[in-house]
Amino acid sequence: MLHEDVQLLPFTYRVMPQGFLVVNQAGEYLWLSRSDFDRLLSGNRERMGELYYRFKGKHLVVDDDDEELAVEMLATKLRTRKGYLKAFTSLHMIVATLRCNFRCDYCHASSSDRDRADTDMSWDTAKHVVNLIFESPSPAIKIEFQGGEPLLNWDLVEETIRYAEVVNRFAGRNLEFVICTNLTMVTPEMLTFCKKHRVSLSTSLDGPGQLHDLHRKRRDGGSGYETFRKKLDLTREYLGQDGCSALLTVTRDHLNRLPEVVDHYAELGFNGVFLRSLNPYGYAAANLNDLGYSPGEFLVAYKTALDYIIDMNFRGTPFVEYYAALMLQRILTPFATGFVDLQSPSGAGISGVIYDYNGDVYPADEARMLARTGDRKFCMGNVLDNSYEELFHGRLVQDLVHKSCVEVMPGCATCAYQIYCGADPVRYYAESGDVTGSRPDSGFCQKNKGIIDHIFELLLRNDNRLNNLFWAWITSRNLKDMEL
């Protein structure tokens, strides 16, 4: 029997110059013209005509006969997308020390002088941290050492890794270690240890020498770049070409020079770059007038750099822009993509957590920065005083989860990109004094919306070569292999 009226399932949409982009609750999308969008809204099967089957295939409409099955299928897809929530906290960042041999203009950690040993984490605190980490139910645990420069407290890093491995003999988790370092103090002995214990390194690279040194300043006044290059080679000798990844911080001085930065990353043998905008914390907040830029200025630079990277791939150099790759994965595949900085509810506390040198626990690195400036709103407690339940099931984390679901947040609730995007309650608080934030004034929102708009524009070109490149990025393959 043919029912004239069908039921609309919840969806969001965005009006673009190219038409109406309609997105269902599981992130599947459809481009519609104005008149086809009106047909959808009519809820009338006869008016929908042949389009009815497309609408049904995208879970935009349902009729009485299959309502239960269709809703169950949509729920399954949504559950798959949100799969990262099952594991609970898997990223555990440990601040081994606040000391650093650098004092970068944009440092989030507000690092301290090399002789400030009172900002080193003690062995007793580190042991408490590791014991607490293994109370997390997550089957995968990543322990990331941060600073300051964690290599300045190398003995603690080494002991903590050994201890975590012992604990893990009983816990049986998929355990991973990363050390975030400027590399300049790395030694063959450290690298031998890292190789043996399968520790990978993550470093900072801001471009060719002059640009790298511009805001990354040694406390002793010299250039860090030459040492960085030598130590990168040394690191690769021990850990292999992919044993050390690099992270870029885009300052005002980078905006017109991103292609140059991209070339340099490729020259040094990195497979890609994450074009990461500046976050307004720590020294970066104090130096915002010199380092900062508007979301619009960032977007212009981002699009130019992305075009450059796409062209570079077409010219035969495989290279990935990781933020675009993440978004493409979210737009084009049904899978869960855990990325603590961009998920709903926010990953703060429930996906990632940071233990300060004194044992204070924060749901995100940015929360630690706020505490450094005197605002301890996001301090979850201390590993020496509080139990796992008090820290992770306490009111603070519950409140962050409640208030960071984009599906119900003002502005986000009706946004077509909510399933691809996420919330950053700590940043919202830093910007507006409120963890829910205000979307029209949010640089975070403007940046994400602008990037996702651009990616949809690229997808709309329906260019075979470009689509192959995007799938190569999503599946970590070579464009050449995709074109065979």
User: How far apart, in whole angstroms, are the C-alpha atoms of residue 202 and residue 223?
Assistant: 20
Q: Does 435 bind ligand SF4 (CB under 6 A)?
A: no
Distance, C-alpha 227 to centroid of its chain: 28
Q: Closest separation between CB of residue 400 and ligand SF4, Å?
A: 16
Using CB under 6 A, pick the residue from 111, 136, 404, 448 that binds ligand SF4.
448
Instruction: Identify whether the C-beta of residue 403 lies closer than 8 Å to the C-beta of residue 435.
Output: yes
Of 300 and 379, CB closest to ligand SF4: 300
Q: Closest separation between CB of residue 448 and ligand SF4, Å?
A: 4
Of 164 and 445, CB closest to ligand SF4: 445
Residue closest to 202 by CA, chosen among 176, 182, 229: 182
Binding residues for ligand SF4, total number by CB under 6 A: 11
Using CB under 6 A, pick the residue from 439, 443, 451, 456 that binds ligand SF4.
439
Of 84 and 417, CB closest to ligand SF4: 417
Instruction: Name the one residue in this structure whose structure tokens are 């995968």.
Output: 140
User: How far apart, in whole angstroms, are the C-alpha atoms of residue 43 and residue 11?
Assistant: 13
Using CB under 6 A, pick the residue from 406, 426, 435, 455 that binds ligand SF4.
406
Is residue 388 exposed (0-12), middle (13-18) or buried (19+ Cβ within 10 Å)?
middle
Q: Which segment (150-158, 355-363, 410-418, 459-467) binds ligand SF4 by CB under 6 A?
A: 410-418
Instruction: Identify whether the C-beta of residue 101 lies closer than 8 Å to the C-beta of residue 218.
Output: yes
Q: Does 445 bind ligand SF4 (CB under 6 A)?
A: yes
Q: Closest separation between CB of residue 433 and ligand SF4, Å?
A: 18
DSSP symbols for 298-350:
HHHHHHHHHHHHHHHHHTT---EEHHHHHHHHHHH--S----TTS-SS--BTT
Q: Does 343 bind ligand SF4 (CB under 6 A)?
A: no
Residue type for position 8: L
Q: Which segment (82-90, 167-175, 219-227, 408-416) binds ligand SF4 by CB under 6 A?
A: 408-416
Write the CB contacts of 185 (distance below 8 Å, at least 6 apart in sequence).
101, 149, 151, 152
Q: Closest separation between CB of residue 366 and ligand SF4, Å?
A: 16
Instruction: Identify whether the C-beta of residue 360 lies closer than 8 Å to the C-beta of residue 382.
Output: yes
| Contact mark string toward ligand SF4, 411..430, x via CB under 6 A | xx--x-xx--x---------
Q: Does 342 bind ligand SF4 (CB under 6 A)?
A: no
Q: Does 12 bind ligand SF4 (CB under 6 A)?
A: no
Of 357 and 428, CB closest to ligand SF4: 428
Alpha helices in 115-224 (DSSP H): 123-133, 154-171, 188-196, 209-215
User: How far apart, in whole angstroms, are the C-alpha atoms of residue 477 and residue 414?
Assistant: 35
Using CB under 6 A, pick the residue from 81, 173, 215, 449 that binds ligand SF4.
449
Q: Closest separation between CB of residue 43 and ligand SF4, Å?
A: 26
User: Which residues share a beta bridge with 264?
Assistant: none
Residues that bind ligand SF4 (CB under 6 A): 406, 411-412, 415, 417-418, 421, 439, 445, 448-449
